[in-house]
Amino acid sequence: MLRRTKLFILPKTTATVTLQPLRHLKTLASTSTNNTKDAYFALIHHITNIVRRDFYPERTLNKLNVPVTSELVFRVLRACSRSPTESLRFFNWSRAYYTPTSIEYEELIKILAKSKRYSSMWKLITQMKDQNPQFSISSETVRSIIEEYGRSGLIDQAVEVFNQCNSLNCEQNVDIYNSLLFALCEVKLFHGAYALVRRLIRKGLAPNKTTYSVLVNGWCSNGKFKEAQLFLEEMSKKGFNPPVRGRDLLIEGLLNAGYFESAKEMVFKMSKEGFVPDVNTFNCLIEAICNSGKVDFCVDMYYSLRKLGFCPDINSYKILIPAVSKVGKIDEAFKLLNNSIEDGHKPFPGLYAPIIKGMCRRGQFDDAFCFFGEMKVKGHPPNRPVYTMLITMCGRGGKYVEAANYLVEMTEMGLTPISRCFDMVTDGLKNCGKHDLAKRIEQLEVSVCSV
C-alpha cells in the first residue's frame, strides 16, 4: 500500500529575473549565497536567449540596463558558442559598455574558428592588436585555430599560422607542434608530420604522449600499422620513450581506426607474454568491444589480466557492469560490483542502476526492490535518474502500486519526478481499478508542480 503522506501545497516562488534586481548585479560574482548565484545564472541564461533568438538583440539588451562585465560577456559567449554570428554581434554591442580583455577576445576567436568564419576571426585578431600593441594570444587559442584549419583540409593556412606564432606573441611549444602534427595527419601528409617531429627534437623540445598518439592514430587510421610500429621503435632508440608504452599507443590507434580484431589480438599477445596494458588503454578497448556486442570477451580479458596483477579503475567498472547487465548476466554484474568494492572503489548509484534495470528486464522485481533497498541501507542514496529508471521499469512490468510508492518516496527526498512518470503511474492505476490511489498521485503531482 502507498505510505500515508500529507501532500502540502507550498507557496509559489518565481524563478524569473525581473528588471529591478538586474541593475544591482555588480557584486553577484563575489557573493556566495545560493539565491544570488541562481539569480546570476538566470541572468546569463536570459541574456543568452536574447542573443540567440531576438531579432533586435541590441535594443532588448539596452532596455535591461545590465552592468556589462568581463565575466558576464565571457559566460554569454561560451553559452552561444554554436551561434557565431550572434556571438560576434553581442560582442560588438558589449564593447560600447566596457573594454574587453584577451579572455573574451580569445573565446570569440575560437568560436569563429570552429564555425569556419576565418575572415571574421582575423579581423578580430587585428582589433585585438590595435587595442593593445603588447597583445599575446595563448597557445590554446593558436592550437585551436591550427587544428580547425586541419579539419577543414586547409593545411597551407595551418602552416602559415604556425609560422606566425612570433607575430602573435605565442611561443612555439610542444602543444603548438602537436596541433600542426594533427593538421598534417588530417590531410594524410605523414612524411611531413614525421619531419615535423624531427624538427621538434632539433629545437630541443621533448615529444609527449599527444605527439605520439596523434601520429600513431593517423598511421593506424590509414592502415599503416607497420609504419606506426617502426616510428615508435625509432623514437625509443633515440631515447625519446613515450610516457606510456608503445604497444598501448598502438592499441589505442587501432581502436580509433576501427581495427578491433587487431587490437584484441595485440592485447591477447601481451597477456600471454605476461604484460598488462595501461588502464586507460584497457578502458578504451573494452568500451569499443562492448559497444560491438562482444561482452564475454571483455569479461574474460578482465579476469585474465587481473591474474597478471592488472588493477582496474572505477571507469573500468562503469563500462563492464552496465554491459553485462544489459545482456542479462546479472550474477556476473554482482561479481564485478563486489570486485570494485574489494579494490577500494566506493560504489555510486550509477553502478547499481544497470543491475536493477537488468533484474527488472528479467522479471525479478522482488530481487530488484530488495537490492534497491540494500543500496540505500549501505549509504548510497539513489538520485533522480535511478528513481526515474525504477519507476519506468515498474510501469513496464505492471507494478503500478510499487511505482506509486517510489514516486512518493522520491518527493519525500526532495527529488522532483518527471511528468512522464506521473502520467504513466496514474494511467496504470486507473486501468487497474485503483482510482483512489490514482487520485492521490494526481494530487501529489499538483503539489509538486506548484512548488
Q: How far apart are CA 86 and CA 121, in angstroms?
A: 14
Query: Amino acid identity of 115?
Result: S
Q: How far apart are CA 252 and CA 213, in angstroms?
A: 8
Look-up: residue for cell 568560436? 111
Q: How far apart are CA 317 and CA 324, in angstroms?
A: 10
pLDDT in tens, the chain (451 residues): 333 333 323 333 333 333 233 333 333 333 344 567 778 888 999 999 999 999 999 999 999 988 999 999 999 999 999 999 999 999 999 999 999 998 999 999 999 999 999 999 999 999 888 888 778 899 999 999 999 999 999 999 999 999 999 888 899 999 999 999 999 999 989 889 889 988 998 998 888 878 887 888 887 777 777 777 777 777 777 666 555 455 666 677 777 767 777 777 777 777 777 777 778 878 888 888 888 788 888 888 888 888 888 888 899 999 999 999 999 899 999 999 999 888 888 888 888 889 999 999 999 999 999 989 888 888 788 888 999 999 999 999 999 999 999 999 988 888 888 888 888 999 999 998 888 888 998 888 888 766 5
Helices (H) and strands (E) in the chain, counts: 25, 0
φ, ψ dihedrals at 76, nearest 5°: -65, -40
Q: Please name the residues in contact with 389: beta carbons below 8 A apart, sequence gap of 6 or more.
A: 353, 356, 357
DSSP, res 239: T
In degrees to the nearest 10, what's the CA dihedral of 224, 229, 231, 233? -170
* Strand, helix or coil for residue 372: helix
Cell of 94: 558589449
Q: How far apart are CA 29 and CA 134, in angstroms?
A: 29
Task: Tell me what pLDDT residue 451 has.
Answer: 56
Q: How far apart are CA 163 and CA 156, in angstroms?
A: 11
Task: Tell me what pLDDT residue 370 has.
Answer: 92
CA 198 to chain centre: 34
Where helices occur in 152-294 by DSSP H, the ranges are 155-163, 174-186, 190-202, 209-221, 225-237, 246-257, 260-272, 279-291
CA 57 to chain centre: 31
Task: Tell me what pLDDT residue 266 has.
Answer: 72
Look-up: residue for cell 555588480? 26
- Cβ-contact 222, 258 below 8 angstroms: no
Region for residue 223 given its phi and psi (left: phi exceeds 0; alpha: psi -120 to 50; beta: otherwise)? left
* Strand, helix or coil for residue 38: helix
* Strand, helix or coil for residue 103: helix
Angle formed by the axes of helices 279-291 and 260-272, nearest 10°? 140
Query: Amino acid identity of 170?
Result: C
Nearest to 385 by CA among 416, 427, 355: 416
Nearest to 451 by CA among 6, 17, 9: 9
Q: How far apart are CA 253 and CA 281, in angstroms?
A: 10
Return contacts of 414-421, CB within 8 angstroms, 24+ apart: 415/383, 415/384, 415/387, 416/384, 416/448, 417/387, 417/388, 417/391, 417/448, 418/388, 419/445, 421/388, 421/391, 421/392, 421/395
Question: Does the pTM exceed 0.85?
Answer: no
Cell of 156: 597551407
Task: Tell me what pLDDT residue 24 has.
Answer: 34
Look-up: residue for cell 590509414? 222
Query: What number of CA atoms fall less than 13 Å from residue 309's CA on the CB side?
Result: 3
Task: Tell me what pLDDT residue 10 has.
Answer: 30
Cell of 290: 562492448
Burial of 355 (0-12, 13-18, 19+ CB in 10 A): buried
Cell of 235: 623514437
CA 195 to chain centre: 34
Cell of 210: 599527444
Alpha-carbon Rg for the chain, nearest whole angstrom, is 28
Strand boundaries in 264-345, DSSP class E? none
- Cβ-contact 302, 320 below 8 angstroms: yes
Task: Tell me what pLDDT residue 310 has.
Answer: 84
